Amino acid sequence: MLLIARLEGRSSLKTLEPCLFAEEGYPIYGDVVEFHGAEGTGKTEMLYHLIARCLLPKPRGGLEVGVLFIDTDFHFDMLRLVTILEYRLKSGKPWMQ
């Protein structure tokens, strides 16, 4: 489960992932977004990339917003998230072109 919170001036999450969220259906403050499906379909990987997109600075294609991740079964892989963030920061490429 991913709880998306906008901080500091309520930045827009309109561009979080246009391929997933329609123009009218993007997450707004206080929304809870849930991914569900069969094992091995990429739900966790998608989640890590969306979290990275939220956290990255705007010059790197990020949204500069906070994310609250509630991990009730202690399976969140912080190293995987850090790896994704480092790759995006080192690549010099914005998230979306």
pLDDT digits (tens, 9 = 90+) for 11-27: 556 677 777 777 676 77
DSSP codes of every residue in 18-29: TTTS-TT----T
CA distances from residue 28 to 50, 71, 94 in whole angstroms, order as listed:
15, 21, 23
pLDDT at 94: 63
pTM of the model as a whole: 0.74
- Contact by Cβ (8 Å): 51, 5: no
pLDDT at 6: 47
Tokens of 31: 């929304």
Residue ranges in the chain modelled with pLDDT below 50 = 6-8, 97
Coil, helix or strand at residue 30? coil
- Contact by Cβ (8 Å): 16, 51: no
